[in-house]
A = this chain, B = another copy of it.
Amino acid sequence: MSLRAVLLITLQREPGSGYDILQRFKAGLAHVWQASHQQLYRELDRMRGDGLLACETMPQSERPDRKVYHLTDAGHRALDEWLAEPLTASPVRQPLFAKFFAWEQWPADARRDELTALQAQLAKRLVVYATIEKQWFADPASLTPAERAPWHTLRLGKRLTKTWLGWIEEVLEEDRERHVD
């Protein structure tokens, strides 16, 4: 249900095509949701079939038609229901943590590569966050409550990322020390 709900939220803010939504997932919603284009097109079509969305086909010269989706009344109702009911806790799945349980057997260079690669990914993530922040939340003090709420999610994303980075640095440091001594 969550992908549906995310689509309802973003299409309610602004109607758009599958491709548009894909761009939003890469930009302003990067810390909220990601999905492949295949998944989007399939789900949008199903939601139209279920009466939650309607779409207008915009013919374009020399390009495939854009299908611009927007919420129907049923879509609005479905969104309201989803908002009102609490989320269930998401299950824990940390393959990286599992590797730590085989520390002796995990090749030392693979350990370092894994952690430095993760470091690089997280650093890139922080850059994405900074870009979003600059574009949408340049002046936090002057945000309305409705604008302030999504800004909070960015802040948490940043903090969690920094928590990870601090931890990786410590683990790498400890690993280095043991190999130098």
Contact = CB atoms under 8 A, between A and B. Distances in A.
Interface residues of A, number: 65
A135 to B, nearest CB: 15
Given A12-B102, A171-B152, A31 B92 contact: yes
A47 B79 CA distance: 41
A9 B98 contact: yes
A118 B89 CA distance: 8
Interface string A131-172: 000000000000001101110110111011001101100110
Closest 6 CB pairs between A and B?
A103-B149, A97-B153, A100-B149, A32-B97, A2-B95, A34-B91
Interface of A: 2, 5-6, 9-10, 12-13, 30-35, 79-80, 83-87, 89-107, 110, 113-114, 117-118, 121, 145-146, 148-150, 152-153, 155-157, 159-160, 163-164, 166-167, 170-171, 174, 178
